Chain A
Amino acid sequence: MLGEGIIKGMGETARNFFGSYVKEDRLTTVQYPEERLPQKEAARNFPFLVYDGKDWDKGLRCVACQICEKECPPQCIYIVKDATKKPDHIGKMQFQAKVFDIDISVCMSCQICVEVCPFEAIKMDVEYELSTGDRFGQLLLHKDQLAKSNDYYRKIHPTEAAEVDARMGAEKAKAEAKAKPAAATSATPSKP
């Protein structure tokens, strides 16, 4: 009969209406600033620079090789090399970046910089509350804003960070194993 479907539909919406007052779990809405959904591990938005240890400036893994700068498709990374060197995790002397900027208003979150970096120095962040009143100045992140500790990296991407840690640990062990016989024969300190 004409109108049957309408009655059925009205019944359904009425059930939803009253149900939402009775059963809390019907409501799928998350009240955002107060409530948050747990972060997904695979989430990513903009890159950040990883550092080891306590001092961010000393511990930055980046060696200013500028591979990421060249590979970044929208060219949003800007690096200036520093003249002085510092040792990396296996104790080799490396350059460091004097300026490391990422314009996140341009970055398209493609993760290519992360893929190409041979030093595990740049990783993807999950921070999404980035709104600002100044879309030019505030969205150009400098080295100090980009630097985040390895602990933070372990927290946001546990699986990935564990892999990286294992790989770097293995490299370090290998380097040490190599350095030992060399140190025994030449008796010169490999570290300044």
Chain B
Amino acid sequence: MDQIFVNLKDWLVALFPAGRQQELVSALISVAALIGTFAGLFALTTVLERKGLGRIQNRYGPNRVGPYGILQPMADGLKALTKEDVVPRSADQVVHFLAPLVLVAPVFLALAVVPMGRNMAAVDFDAGILFFFAVGAATELSVFMAGWSSRNKYSLLGAMRAIAQMISYEVPLILSSLAVIMIAGSLSAVTIVEKQAGYSGLIPHWFVLTPWGFAGFILFMIAAAAESNRSPFDLPEGESEIIAGYYIEYSGFKFALFFLGEYIGLFAASGLAITLFLGGWNAPFPFLTWIPSYVWFFGKLLALIAVFIWVRGTLPRLRMDQLMNFAWKFMLPMALINLLTAGVWHFTPPGLARWIICALLVFGPYVALGRTLFESKKLAKRTYSYAE
């Protein structure tokens, strides 16, 4: 059961003559599977998100199309396809057209290095994590292309915000995953997952269950939310301020592509979080290893997406200065401290003492930093002298 998809692919590939042709077929199958699975997951997520947000606000959410509204994405897709594709006359036609493609292509590329089950990474690079961040940075380009080429001030404002935000949060994102890379001693996603296999008693060797891993996981999730423009970091498209931000001039299927790219980016970031911190496709308990590895991966993925939706339903949007202060005055120092803690963890002998020392090393600065930030009114509630 565990290897059913891998065997299926091997069987299909074996139908072709060996050599270059087989390599090509193998790659094509992987790409098709990846796009198919994640496009389906995207459709499912949009409807689940809307239903979940509805429930959080004590509403039903979509419930008209199909049983319990589960076919809503089809209706949405049809609508997106049949809508008129408006391109502003003064827009830079080529760049305007390319921007959604430039967003969608790299996020799928990033997904390719995430192992989704035993032997189920589309490509196993030695430098997989590096590749992930490298192509992930291309989304910034696309966002700016969209904002700049639309020739609309809201677009441009949104793009500026997006660039500022994405670059700021790229730093803690990479720093927090650096701790894992240090401990695992590898940049390959597959190796990192293998390092987290195995159990001590009932407890799996996941990095999230160590002090530095836990802190890293939280930092990573916050930074990932900011990277994929998820609420509460959805300033680039803040509806109440700049309407739809950088994709204000997009309609019809190009808009749907932006939407898709954003969600696939979220899946990719969640997939990486699972790989780095949550043990990849490993089962949480040794007696559950009979369940296929891809079930665990996608289960964890759905759980992380649920958390993202939950956060979206809870937190209000940040203000620009709060966003920047949070990135540079809290996330960055915490990520650096976390890196240090990971070093300490590596060089102290295993045992309870190591655990306590590292927990203190992370928790102490967290409390201290939080307190200072509140006292210096950088994150605290702003008091208005005139506008009360």
A31 to B379 Cα, complex, angstroms:
42
Q: With A1-B367, A6-B315 given, is the CB distance from A16 to B60 under 8 Å?
A: no
A sample of 20 inter-chain contacts (CB < 8 A) reads A1-B367, A1-B370, A2-B367, A2-B369, A2-B371, A2-B373, A2-B374, A10-B310, A10-B311, A13-B313, A16-B57, A17-B313, A19-B58, A20-B55, A26-B58, A27-B58, A27-B59, A28-B58, A29-B59, A31-B60
Q: How many A-B residue pairs have CB under 8 A?
A: 50
Contact B369 A17 (CB under 8 A): no
Chain A interface residue count: which class? 10 to 19
Mark A154-169 against chain B: 1 for CB-CB distance below 8 A, else 0.
0000000000000000
Cβ of B366 < 8 Å from any Cβ of A?
A: yes
Residues of A within 8 A of B (CB): 1-3, 6, 9-10, 12-14, 16-17, 19-21, 26-29, 31
A28 to B55 Cα, complex, angstroms:
11
CB distance from B56 to the nearest CB of A (A): 5
Contact A14 B55 (CB under 8 A): no
A20 to B60 Cα, complex, angstroms:
9
Contact A17 B311 (CB under 8 A): no
Contact A13 B58 (CB under 8 A): no
Q: Which of B57, B311, B370 contacts A2 (CB 8 A)?
A: B370
Closest 5 CB pairs of A and B: A2-B370, A13-B314, A20-B55, A13-B56, A17-B55
Chain B interface residue count: which class? 20 to 34
CB distance from B218 to the nearest CB of A (A): 9
Contact B314 A9 (CB under 8 A): yes
Contact B310 A16 (CB under 8 A): no
Contact B310 A14 (CB under 8 A): yes
A14 to B310 Cα, complex, angstroms:
8
Residues of B within 8 A of A (CB): 52, 55-60, 310-311, 313-315, 330, 366-367, 369-371, 373-374, 379
CB distance from B106 to the nearest CB of A (A): 31
Known A21-B55, A29-B59; 12 more pairs at CB < 8 Å: A1-B370, A1-B371, A2-B370, A2-B373, A2-B374, A6-B314, A13-B314, A16-B58, A27-B58, A27-B59, A28-B58, A31-B60
> Which of A17, A28, A29 is most buried by chain B, counting CB atoms within 10 A of its CB?
A17
The secondary-structure label for the interface of chain A is helix
A88 to B366 Cα, complex, angstroms:
86
Contact A16 B370 (CB under 8 A): no
A6: which B residues are within 8 A, CB to CB? 314-315
CB distance from A20 to the nearest CB of B (A): 5
B370: which A residues are within 8 A, CB to CB? 1-3
Contact B56 A27 (CB under 8 A): no
Contact B56 A10 (CB under 8 A): no
User: Closest B-chain residue to A3, C-beta based?
Assistant: B370
Contact B52 A17 (CB under 8 A): yes
